[in-house]
Chain A
Amino acid sequence: MSKAIRNTITSFIVPILFIFTWAIFATKLNNPMILPQINQVLNNFVHATDDFIGLGSIPRNIIVSLIRVLLGYCVGVIIALPLGIFMGYKESISNLFSKFINTLRPVPALSWVPLVLAWFGLASLATFFGVPYGPKQVFFDNFKFAMIFIIGMGTFFPVVSGAAFGVKNVPKTLIESAKVLGASNRDIFFKILIPAAGPNIINGLRGGLGSAWGCLVAAEMLPGSLSGLGYLITHAYELARTDLVVTGIICIGVVGALLDYIFVVVEKRRFSWLGR
């Protein structure tokens, strides 16, 4: 048996055991409030395109959540990436920001909610661009600034740390050997520091995306949210539909893992030179 096939089989053992345990307990307990039956959950996926508890289909909720996460992620990255790179590059910039950032880092995204609501209220892409009332407005109103802010916060810390650490820890001899070959400061920055820090930067971006996706449920618990996987879970809980809760959880997990997989592919392709 080839190693690839064996690895694939190995990776399925735990999920299958898990599903078995779930099935056994669900039948034994026989109480959908505590643990839904597997077939109930499967049924939700079979009818994924139906309208669930008035919140729309599963793909639609996934897309809304995904766009929210990507918007917040982009905002977070746009701020964190250059800041992290410059913090790694110049010690003075690092001194300026690092204490402040390290103090804010442990604060959970959720604790920002009251403040963020006070700042942004229910403002969304729809209100910002003045989209006239209609289906388009309903769609764009899903993307509230408050949510984007919370998700951006979640993105910020891993990305800034990864970039700062990566640039700071570029071996000094690489920089010196470039200098004696006649590199300008610009050459050193773009041709030595950035590529050398690449693996750590990507690692930070990867952690940032995971964290952004993790902040989703918190962001979608904000008032004014009317769709998305996080909201689906909250609302399903209120209606005692644990099968839908589990459905939502599975979607969050699978989509999150797929997003993470993008980075696995990038790392394999771009960083083969690490020789691992």
Chain B
Amino acid sequence: MTQEYIISLKNLCKSYNTKENLTVEALKDINLDVKENDFICIVGPSGCGKSTMLRIIAGLETATEGKIIYEGRELQKPTKDIGMVFQDYSLLPWRTVLDNIALGLEFKGVSKNKRLDIASRYLELIDMTRFGKAYPYELSGGMQQRVAIARALANDPHVLLMDEPFGALDAHTRILLQKELLRIWERNKKTIMFVTHSVDESVYLADKVIVMSRNPGEIKEIINIDMERPRDRGDIKYATMTSKILKMLEVS
């Protein structure tokens, strides 16, 4: 089956009713087509509906209007093909690293030996073989986020949604994890939708940057980043891209 797009958002709208009986248009008329294996970054001011968009695609929230086409079919409920990584890692604190990575496989009913086998492979992928038996509280934030990424990947999703996954990390760890994520993405070929507050991060990672504006939450601009990877932050083109996106965010 050949599809041009793996995910298409069609006229997606989401409004919330607040306690004061006001209507917040978190998303208004979002149309977006995502090609398979694309790395998409979404930037925009706080409250413009970035999280809401990912949460609807993940099936954690339902759209008020519009629909999501996934692999040619309308998406109705959460599917294991779409994984998500949260900003706060949300590992299960009572499980070891290995058992955390194996969680999705356990839900799928994969036998114990097999799932530990697969989990160990992903542990290797994130370069944390020594920590299989550790508990989350024994890990740094960066390590916990790597485990969360491995946990999502172990389920072998086609699409990986990431909501500010590196937002709570220091600049150094952040850059390390960006490289690591690119390495994993190039090796495993996933479609990634990545929300970030950092324009630099979006230019470093993305094939396409979606710039959003708020009140109502709309897509303002879609920018293609045609630069070879690994990208050089000192490159003049890199700097131009970054300032271009920053300017757009300023006026929104």
Per-residue contact bits, chain A 201-221, to B (CB 8 Å; 1 contact, 0 not)? 000000000000000000000
Known: A176-B60, A274-B137, A275-B135. A184 touches B88 (CB 8 A): no
Q: Shortest Cβ distance from A94 into chain B, in angstroms?
A: 20
17 further contact pairs, Cβ within 8 A, besides A177-B90, A183-B107, A275-B137: A173-B88, A177-B148, A178-B107, A180-B59, A180-B60, A180-B84, A180-B152, A182-B78, A196-B93, A196-B94, A198-B94, A272-B135, A273-B94, A273-B137, A274-B93, A275-B93, A275-B138
Measured CA separation A92–B82 after assembly (Å): 32
Kindly list chain A residues whose C-beta atoms are within 8 Å of the C-beta of B104.
181-182
Q: Shortest Cβ distance from B134 into chain A, in angstroms?
A: 10
Measured CA separation A214–B216 after assembly (Å): 60
Q: Confirm or deny: B197 has a beta carbon within 8 angstroms of a beta carbon on chain A.
A: no
Q: Confirm or deny: B103 has a beta carbon within 8 angstroms of a beta carbon on chain A.
A: yes
Q: Shortest Cβ distance from A198 into chain B, in angstroms?
A: 7
Q: In chain B between 101 and 121, which residues have their CB closer than 8 angstroms to a CB of chain A? A: 103-104, 106-108
Measured CA separation A182–B79 after assembly (Å): 7
Chain B residue nearest in CB terms to A275: B137
Q: Contact: B93 with A273, CB < 8 Å? A: yes
Q: A residues engaging B (CB < 8 A)?
A: 171, 173-174, 176-184, 187, 191-192, 195-196, 198, 271-275
22 inter-chain pairs at a CB distance below 8 angstroms, sorted by A residue, are: A177-B90, A178-B107, A180-B78, A180-B83, A181-B103, A181-B107, A181-B151, A181-B155, A182-B108, A182-B155, A187-B107, A191-B103, A192-B92, A196-B93, A196-B94, A198-B94, A272-B135, A273-B93, A273-B94, A274-B137, A275-B93, A275-B137
Measured CA separation A176–B83 after assembly (Å): 11
Known: A181-B155, A187-B107. A176 touches B90 (CB 8 A): yes
Kindly list chain A residues whose C-beta atoms are within 8 Å of the C-beta of B84.
177, 180
Q: Shortest Cβ distance from A208 into chain B, in angstroms?
A: 22
Quick one: which of B60, B78, B107 has the most chain A CB within 10 A? B107
Which listed residue, A173, A183, A273, touches B86 by the CB 8 Å rule? A173
Q: Shortest Cβ distance from A12 into chain B, in angstroms?
A: 33
Q: Confirm or deny: B158 has a beta carbon within 8 angstroms of a beta carbon on chain A.
A: no
Q: Shortest Cβ distance from B105 into chain A, in angstroms?
A: 9
Q: Confirm or deny: B209 has a beta carbon within 8 angstroms of a beta carbon on chain A.
A: no
Measured CA separation A198–B93 after assembly (Å): 12
Kindly list chain A residues whose C-beta atoms are within 8 Å of the C-beta of B103.
178, 181, 191
Chain B residue nearest in CB terms to A186: B107
Q: Contact: A180 with B88, CB < 8 Å? A: no
Kindly list chain B residues whose C-beta atoms are within 8 Å of the C-beta of A274.
93, 137
Chain B residue nearest in CB terms to A172: B90
Per-residue contact bits, chain B 180-201, to A (CB 8 Å; 1 contact, 0 not)? 0000000000000000000000
Kindly list chain A residues whose C-beta atoms are within 8 Å of the C-beta of B148.
177
Q: Contact: A179 with B78, CB < 8 Å? A: yes
Q: Shortest Cβ distance from A116 into chain B, in angstroms?
A: 40
Q: Shortest Cβ distance from A243 into chain B, in angstroms?
A: 49
Kindly list chain B residues whose C-beta atoms are within 8 Å of the C-beta of A182.
78, 80, 104, 107-108, 155
Q: Shortest Cβ distance from A251 into chain B, in angstroms?
A: 37
Measured CA separation A194–B137 after assembly (Å): 19
Q: Confirm or deny: B177 has a beta carbon within 8 angstroms of a beta carbon on chain A.
A: no
Kindly list chain B residues whose C-beta atoms are within 8 Å of the C-beta of A196.
92-94
Measured CA separation A184–B107 after assembly (Å): 7
Per-residue contact bits, chain B 155-166, to A (CB 8 Å; 1 contact, 0 not)? 100000000000
Measured CA separation A179–B104 after assembly (Å): 9
Quick one: which of A176, A177, A179, A182 has the most chain B CB within 10 A? A177
Measured CA separation A174–B90 after assembly (Å): 5
Kindly list chain B residues whose C-beta atoms are within 8 Å of the C-beta of A272.
135
Q: Shortest Cβ distance from A191 into chain B, in angstroms?
A: 8
Measured CA separation A174–B135 after assembly (Å): 16
Measured CA separation A196–B95 after assembly (Å): 10
Measured CA separation A181–B119 after assembly (Å): 14
Known: A192-B92, A273-B93, A274-B93. A180 touches B108 (CB 8 A): no
Measured CA separation A76–B88 after assembly (Å): 38
Question: When A and B form their complex, which 9 residue pairs have the shortest distance between CB atoms, in order from nearest?
Answer: A275-B137, A181-B104, A173-B90, A182-B80, A177-B90, A180-B84, A273-B94, A182-B107, A273-B135
Measured CA separation A174–B88 after assembly (Å): 10
Q: Shortest Cβ distance from A45 into chain B, in angstroms?
A: 43
Which listed residue, B58, B94, B137, touches A180 by the CB 8 Å rule? B58
Kindly list chain A residues whose C-beta atoms are within 8 Å of the C-beta of B86.
173, 176-177
Q: Contact: B137 with A195, CB < 8 Å? A: no
Chain A residue nearest in CB terms to B82: A180
Q: Contact: B92 with A195, CB < 8 Å? A: yes
Kindly list chain B residues whose C-beta atoms are within 8 Å of the C-beta of A171.
90
Kindly list chain B residues whose C-beta atoms are within 8 Å of the C-beta of A192.
92
Q: Shortest Cβ distance from A223 into chain B, in angstroms?
A: 48
Known: A187-B107, A275-B135, A275-B137. A179 touches B60 (CB 8 A): yes
